[in-house]
């Protein structure tokens, strides 16, 4: 099982081709290495790889390490995913196991190949 970040935050950056115009900025708030946190991290990374084709940045924020960071995005439950860009801001609570619900909630359109 993957471990949640012990640092202040961790980022996963994927370089996008210059031809792509829309870049996604996502924040995932977790609490340590709980099963839900680990599942949410794995699910989010998989969905981004499948549907955003390198056009994303994920910031994982461990609230056990930095609980004060929850106030900025008004986090009341964890894990919570926040889509910062593109606007409008959207939030999804839970382990992100329902792919269809996550894709609809984030308004992600599958990349056409």
pLDDT in tens, 69-93: 999 899 999 999 999 999 999 999 9
Residues 3-23: what's their mean pLDDT? Answer: 49
Element holding 58 (H helix, E strand): strand 56-62
pLDDT at 53 over 70: yes
The confidence band for 3, taking pLDDT boundaries of 50, 70 and 90, is very low
pLDDT at 32 over 80: yes
* Full set of structural domains in the chain with CATH: 22-106 (3.40.30.10)
pLDDT given for residue 21 in this prediction: 64
86 touches 22 (CB < 8 A): yes
pTM of the model: 0.77
């Amino acid at each position: 099982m993957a471990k949640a970040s012990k640092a202040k935050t961790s980022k996963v950056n994927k370089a996008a081709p210059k031809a792509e115009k829309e870049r996604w900025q996502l924040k995932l708030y977790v609490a340590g290495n709980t099963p839900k946190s680990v599942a949410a991290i794995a699910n989010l990374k998989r969905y981004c790889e499948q549907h955003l084709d390198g056009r994303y940045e994920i910031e994982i924020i461990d609230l056990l390490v930095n609980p004060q960071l929850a106030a900025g995005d008004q986090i009341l439950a964890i894990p919570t995913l926040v889509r910062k860009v593109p606007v409008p801001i959207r939030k999804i609570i839970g382990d992100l196991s329902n792919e269809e619900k996550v894709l609809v909630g984030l308004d992600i359109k599958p990349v056409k190949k």
